[in-house]
Structure 1
Amino acid sequence: MLVKNLCHRLIASALVAGMFVAPIFGANVAVAQDAKQETVVIAHRGASGYLPEHTLAAKALAYGMRADYIEQDVVLSKDGVPVILHDIHLDTTTDVATKFPGRKREDGRYYAIDFTLDEIKSLTVTERFKADSGKQVYENRFPMEFGIFKVPTLEEEIKLIQGLNRSTGRDVGIYPEIKNPEFHRAEGQDIAKAVVSVLEKWGYNNPASNAFLQCFDWAETKRIRTELNYQGKLVQLLGENRWGAPEGTDYDFLKSDEGVLEMAKVVDGIGPWLPQVIEGLSENGTAIMTPTLIAAQRAQLMVHPYTLRADQLPKWAGDMDIALKAIFDDAGIDGIFTDFPDQAVEYLARNPDA
C-alpha cells in the first residue's frame, strides 16, 4: 500500500506541475480517472455519528479523526448563498418552527430557500429529529437538547478545512453534493452554477484538486461537465427509481452495463447506495459483488458507496469490521461514506493492504 500511495502522490504532483496536459474536455476526464486514488474514508456529513450533521464542529471532529474527505450537502438560501444542509428543508435539524412559526409552506415544511442567510444564521442546529414527532432519529447520538450549533455556508466550511490543512500540513479534501437542482431551478435559482463558482474560486477546478463534486441528477451532472465546463472530479450518485428520481434520470439504466459506460464518458466515479454494490455475504463470508460494481470497476470508475453507520449496519454485517472487510478487502471498493470515520480509518490502519 505504501508503494501504491507513493505512486498516487507522484501522479498528483505531476498533474499539478503540468506534466499531463489535457486541453480538451474528454482528456480531462481520462486524466482524472487515470489518477486513481488510494482507498479513502469520506466523513458523511462530518463525524455525524458523534456530533450534529453538517455543523462545523462535526467537520472539525472528522478532520481530527483523519478522514480523507469531508462531505458537504449544499442548498441555497433565499439570497442565493450556498449553505450546508442535507435537505432543502430546515425543520428536521433546526429550531425554525419555533423562531419562524408563520413561515411554513402549505405542505407544513420550512424551506431553506424561503429564508435569507441572516435568518438561517439565527437558527440553532441540533441532532436530526422527525418533523412530525420531534423525536431524535438516532437516539444514542448527541442529545438534541444540547444543540449549540449554527448552519455554515459552503465558503465557511472550505475556510475551515483549508485552514486546518495549512496548520496541520495535511491535505484533506472536500466532497460537496449539489442538492435537488430541479427544485432550485423551479424556484428561480441555479444551484449548480453557484456551487461551481465557489469551488473554482477556492481552487477546486481541475482533476488534480482535492475535491469531488457529486449529484443525484444525471441531467445536471452532464450539464455541470459540459455547459458549466467544470473540470474537477465528478461523481454520479445512484439512487432507486422508487425513491423518486429527478426528471431525466433513470437509475435502473445507470446501474446497467450500458448505463455505467455512459457515465464513464462524463464522470470520474459513482456514489451508489451500499446495497447496489454489495448484495450480502457468501457462504464463506466474503462479499457478493453486484453487476453494477463489476461494471464500474471494469470501466475504471472510482466507487464510493453510501452510507455505513455503526448504529445502523447492513443486515449481513454483524459489526463494522465485517462490513469494512467486505467493502475494502473483498469487493475492492475505493472508498466509503460513513458517519463514523474514526472506525473506518482505524480499520484501514490495522489492515494496510485493504
Structure 2
Amino acid sequence: MGSEPQFVDAPSARDVQPLLSVRDLVTEFKTGDGVVHAVDGVSYEVYPGETLGVVGESGSGKSVTVMSILGLIPQPPGRIANGEIILDGQDLLQLSSRELRQVRGKDVAMIFQDPMTSLNPVLSVGDQLAEAILVHEDVSEDVARKRVVELLELVGVPNADQRFDQYPHEYSGGMRQRAMIAMAMANRPKLLIADEPTTALDVTIQAQVLEVLQAAKEETNAGVILITHDLGVVAEMADRVVVMYGGRVVETGTVDEIFHSPKHPYTLGLLSSLPRPDQDLERLVPIPGQPPSLINLPSGCAFHPRCHLGRGRSRCRTEEPALYDLGPMRGSRCHFHEEMAREVAEVEKATGARIEGSEA
C-alpha cells in the first residue's frame, strides 16, 4: 500500500517554494478487524498565502492526513508507516515529541470542527488564549492579556476586554469558533489548518466565520488547509483543491479546473449531487453505493464499484490507476480521464443543468 509513485505539484510552476510538502504519506490503524489504511500514499503541497481545499466524503482520509501533520495520531493503534511531511524545509516526522510540541501552536495551528470540545470548560476563554501565547513566547501575563484582547477584537468578538474573563458556555457557537481562530492566530503561524470550521453553524454565522478566517490568513500570510464537505465553501475560499477518496488523492487542480472541468468521476459525482439554487434542476444525480472499507479496499480503482464511467471495464477492476499528470499542479487518478468531457455532458443532459462553467 502507498508504494506507487505519486503525482506531486511541480515547484517549477510556482515562483516560490512550497511551505508544506506532504510526500507519499501512509497512516494506518490496527483494529480487531484488520489494518485500516486511513491515508494511503497521499502527496500534496501548500504555498505561503494560499488556501488549499481538501474535500471528500467521511472516511476519505482528509482529517487523518492533517492529524498526521500535527503529530496527533494515537500510537498505538495508529502509526505513520511511510512518507515525509516537510514544513519550511524541516521534516516533522523526524522531530521528537518535545520538538513537535514547539511546532504545534506556533508554526502550525489548527482550528477544530467543534470549538466546544476544543475549549476547556473550566477555564476562561481569555486564559486559554493567553496560555497559547505564554507557552511559546517569553512575555508577561499582562502583555499576553493585552494581545489576547487585540486578537479577540480582530476576529470580531464584541467587548473583548470583558469577554476575556468569560467561559466557553457563555459564548455562542459562532463566538467560540471566532475565539478558536484567534487562538490559532496567536503566534502568527506559517500554516493554518481548518477542519470543517463551519459545520455546526447556521448559514449566516458560517459566512461571518469564513470572513474571519480569510482575514486571519491575510493578517499572517499563512498557508491554509481547509477541510470541508461543502463545495460552496471551497468555491468561495480555496485557491486549489485536493479531492480524496478511500485514503488517496484522486484529483488535484485549481478551483476553476475542478469546478469547470472535473477529470475524475468522483469529483463529478460530488458536483452533480449538490442542489443548485441558481438553476431549476429536473433531478439530482446521487453517487450510488457507499464509500469503500479502508480495511479491504476494492481491487483496481477504489471507486470502480460506484463509477458510471468505468462501465465494468476490466482495467478499472484490476489495475490501480496512478495519479496522472495533466499539467502543472493538475492530476487525476482515473484511467479514462480523457473521457470526462463526455461524462459531464451526459450528467448535464440527465439533470437539465450545466456543471459550473463546464467545457463540454
Q: Normalized against structure 1, the TM-score is what? A: 0.31
Larger Rg: 2
Higher strand share: 2
Q: Normalized against structure 2, the TM-score is what? A: 0.31
